[in-house]
Amino acid sequence: MQKQKKSLQAFTLVELAIVLTIIGLLVGAVMVGRGIIRASELRSVMTETASYVTAVNTFRLKYHALPGDMNNATDFWGAADNNAATCRGTDKTGMIATCNGNGDGILNIGVNHGEIFYLWQHLANAGVIGGNFAGRVGPPGPYNAAFSLYSVPGFNVPGSKLKVGAAYNFRNRGTNNSDAGWFYGEYGTVLMLGMSTNSDNLPRGALLAPQELYKIDLKLDDGLPAQGQIVTRPGTNADSPFCTEKTPGAANGTTGTDVDAVYRLSDKELRCVLIYRNFFE
C-alpha cells in the first residue's frame, strides 16, 4: 500500500481574518473583564469607608465615647497592662484586654498616646467591625515615641480589598495653614487610605490613579482634590507627586496653597491617596 501524502495548505485570507477576529474578541473580553474587576474594587472602597463611618457612629452611641480616645475602655474589656505608660506598646493581638485613651475627644499620636491604634481594637471589641488588631504600633521593633508609628494592614489597622498592602488609619490633623505637603484647610480627624509605608503613622503610599480617585470623589463629594470632604495631597508630597495639577494640562507643582487644584486625569499611574477629612463631623 502506498502512503497517501497530505498536502500542506496555507491559510486563506478569510481564515486569517477569522483567526484575527477571534483573537481580538478574546483580548477585548480580557480587557473588559479587568475593567469590571477594577470597577468592583473601587466600589469596595466606598463600601469600606461607609462601614467605618457607621462603625464609629454606632460605637459613640453605645459607649458615649470616641473609640481609641475612650478613657474607661478597660472597665469594659480589662487592662492589657496596668501601667498606662507602657500599655500602648503592648501587643494585644488575640486579646480583648486593651488600653485607655485620655478622653479629650482627639485621637492622639504623641509621646504618651497610641490612640490611633487603640481605635481599631476598641471597634473590634465592640463588635462593630471584624478583625483582630494589636492596638499598638506596628513592626519592626517596639513602640518608639520619636518614630516608628507604622500602620500595618492586618496587624494593627484594617487592610483594603483594593490591593495587598493597602491600609486605613485615622489621625487628628486639625487645621493646616503651613505644611505644603497637605492642601491648606480644616481637616479635623482624617481617615486615610493608601499603601502602608515604614515611615509614618498614616498609610500614605500612592494607591489610586487620578481618574479613579476623581470618580470616587465625584460619587461621594465634589470631584475636587483640595475641597470638600474627600481630598488628596498636593504634588509637593513625595508619595503622590503627580496626582494633582493647578489647572487641566498644567505642569505639575501643586502646593498646599493651590486649593483650586484639579486631578491630573491624563496620568494613568497609581499616584493618589484618599483622605476623608472631618470624619467625625
pLDDT digits (tens, 9 = 90+) for 38-89: 677 788 888 999 999 999 999 999 999 999 999 999 999 999 999 887 888 8
Q: How far apart are CA 49 and CA 127, in angstroms?
A: 17
Asked if residue 229 and residue 124 are part of one domain, the reply reads no
Q: Are residues 149 and 221 in the same domain?
A: no
Q: Is there a cis peptide before residue 139, judged by omega within 30 degrees of 0?
A: no
State the DSSP H helix or E strand holding residue 46, giving kind and residue range, or none if neither: helix 13-63
- State whether 273 and 173 are in the same domain: yes
Residue 11: predicted pLDDT: 63
What CA–CA distances, in Å, run from 7 to 1, 4, 12, 13?
18, 9, 15, 18
Distance CA 116, CA 151 (A): 9
pLDDT at 114: 84
* 52 and 119, same domain (yes or no): yes
In a domain, 124, yes or no: yes
Q: Is 20 exposed, middle or buried (0-12, 13-18, 19+ CB in 10 A)?
A: exposed
Using CA atoms, how far apart are residues 41 and 48, in angstroms rounded to an integer?
11
Judgement on whether residues 193 and 237 belong to the same structural domain of the protein: yes
Strand 244-245 with 230-231, pairing: unpaired
| Cell, residue 259 | 486649593
Assign 218 to helix, strand or coil.
Answer: helix
Domain assignment present for residue 168? The answer is yes
Q: Could you tell me if 170 and 279 lie in one domain?
A: yes
Residue 15 has pLDDT above 80, yes or no: no
* Residue where a domain terminates, one of 116, 135, 158: 158
Residues 126 and 49 in one domain: yes
Tell me which of 93, 128, 158 is where a domain ends.
158
Helix 115-125, helix 13-63: angle, nearest 10 = 90
On whether residue 254 sits in a domain, the answer given is yes
Q: Is 5 a member of any domain? A: no
User: Is residue 210's pLDDT more than 60?
Assistant: yes
In this structure, of 137-141, 163-167, 261-265, the range with the lowest mean pLDDT score is 137-141
Q: What pLDDT score does 35 carry? A: 57
User: Does 113 score more than 70 pLDDT?
Assistant: no
Q: How confident is the model at residue 236 (pLDDT cuts 50, 70, 90)?
A: confident
Query: Are the C-beta atoms of residues 241 and 235 closer than 8 Å to each other?
Result: yes
Domain count, the chain: 2
Q: Note whether 244 and 259 are within 8 A (CB).
A: no
DSSP H helix total and E strand total for the chain? 5, 7
Beta pairing, strands 185-195 & 262-263: unpaired
CB-based contacts of 104: which residues, under 8 Å, 6+ apart?
Answer: 69
Q: Between helices 13-63 and 210-220, what is the axis angle to 10°?
A: 50
Among the candidates 125, 158, 191, a domain finishes at: 158
| CB-CB contact of 233 with 273 (8 Å) | yes
> Are 50 and 139 contained in the same domain?
yes
**Measuring CA to CA, how many Å separate 223 from each of 81, 111, 220, 228, 231?**
45, 37, 8, 8, 9
Residue 23 lies in a domain: no
Same-domain check for residues 123 and 180: no
Tell me, yes or no, whether 244 lies in a domain: yes
* 269 belongs to a structural domain: yes
Same domain, yes or no, for 151 and 172?
no
Supply the range of the domain harboring residue 237: 162-281
Q: Which of 255, 274, 115 has its CA nearest to residue 176? A: 255
pLDDT band at residue 145, thresholds of 50, 70 and 90?
very low
Provide the 10 A C-beta neighbour count for residue 229.
Answer: 15
Q: Specify whether 241 is located in the same domain as 174.
A: yes
- Residue 17 maps to a domain: no
Q: Are residues 100 and 51 in the same domain?
A: yes
